Copies of this chain bind each other. A is one copy, B any other.
Amino acid sequence: MFTPDEHGFTGGSVTGSPGRAQDADQAARVVRAEWRTRQLLSAAARLMERDGFHGVSMQALADEASVSVGLIYRYFGSKEDVLLAVIVEVLNAFDATVPAAVEAAGADPVERIAAAFRAYCGVINTHRHAAVLTYRESKTLGTRHRDTIKSLEVQTTAPLRAAIRDGVEAGLLTADVDVELFALDLILLAHAWALKHWYFGATLSFETYVTRQTALALRAVVDPAHRDDYRHLLAPRT
C-alpha cells in the first residue's frame, strides 16, 4: 500500500498534558484529519475531472469542500500535491482491489486475466472522475511526482502481467504473445472506459463493455486448442 508524503503527521509530543487524555485528543485529531483529507480529495476529484487541474482554483476547491483556503494548506503542501493525492488514491484502489479479485478467480491463468481486467475496469468505473486525471494531468506534475506515479502504475499492473505470463507458460495462450504489449493493451481498454463518455457516447453499459472487451481481447491470445474451455469468456451471450 502506498502512502504519499501527505505532510507526515508524526503527531509528536505537543506540550504538557497527561498521557491518556492526549491519546484521546490525538485519536480524535487523526480521525478528523482523515475525514478532512477524504472530503478534500473527493471535492478535488469532482472539480478537476470537470474543469481540469488548471480550471480549478484553490478558492473553488475550498468552497466545494466547505473549508477555507488556508486549511487546504494544512493538509496538502501545494495544489500539485492535491492532484498527486487524487491520482494516487486511484492507484491505491487498484492495489487494494485487483490482487484480491485475481485470487478469488482461482488458479486458472485465463480466468485470472479476465478477473484482473474486470477488477481494473471496476476501479476505473468507481473513480471515473479521478481516472481521467491520470491521463490528462500527468504532465502537469513535476518529474519527481511523475516518477512516483510511474512506479505505482508498474506495481499496480503487476498481477495482470503475472497472470498473462503464467498463461503463456501453461500453454493456454499462444506462445507468441508479447506479454508486455498485451498487458498494456488490456490496461488501455480499461482506461478507455473512463475516456469513453467523451469518445464514445453512452451506448454501452459497464457490464456489456467489460464482457465484450474481455471476449475480444482473449480471443486474440487463447490457444485454439483450449478455446472450448473458455467459451463462457470468449463467446458470451451478450
Contacts and interface: CB of A to CB of B under 8 A. Distances in A.
Given A54-B54, A188-B188, A188-B189, A181 B139 contact: no
A176 B68 CA distance: 54
A177 B219 CA distance: 11
B176 A184 contact: no
Contact of A219 (B53, B136, B204, B219): B219
A216 interface: yes
Interface string A201-220: 00110000000110011111
Q: Is the interface of A mostly helix, strand, loop or mixed?
A: helix
A219 B200 CA distance: 24
A135 interface: yes
A188 B192 contact: yes
A213 B52 contact: no
A107 interface: no
Nearest to A217: B220
Interface residues of A, number: 44
Interface string A225-236: 000000000010
A54 to B, nearest CB: 4
A182 B216 contact: yes
Of listed A51, A136, A176, A181, residue having the most chain B CB within 10 A: A181
B140 A52 contact: yes
A14 interface: yes
Contact of A212 (B140, B153, B178, B195): B178
A213 B135 contact: no
Nearest to A187: B199
Of listed A135, A198, A216, residue having the most chain B CB within 10 A: A216
A140 B181 contact: no
A185 B181 contact: no
Given A66-B14, A184-B199, A221-B219, A139 B189 contact: no
Interface of A: 14, 50-55, 66, 68, 135-140, 153, 176-178, 180-182, 184-185, 188-189, 192, 195-196, 198-200, 203-204, 212-213, 216-221, 224, 235
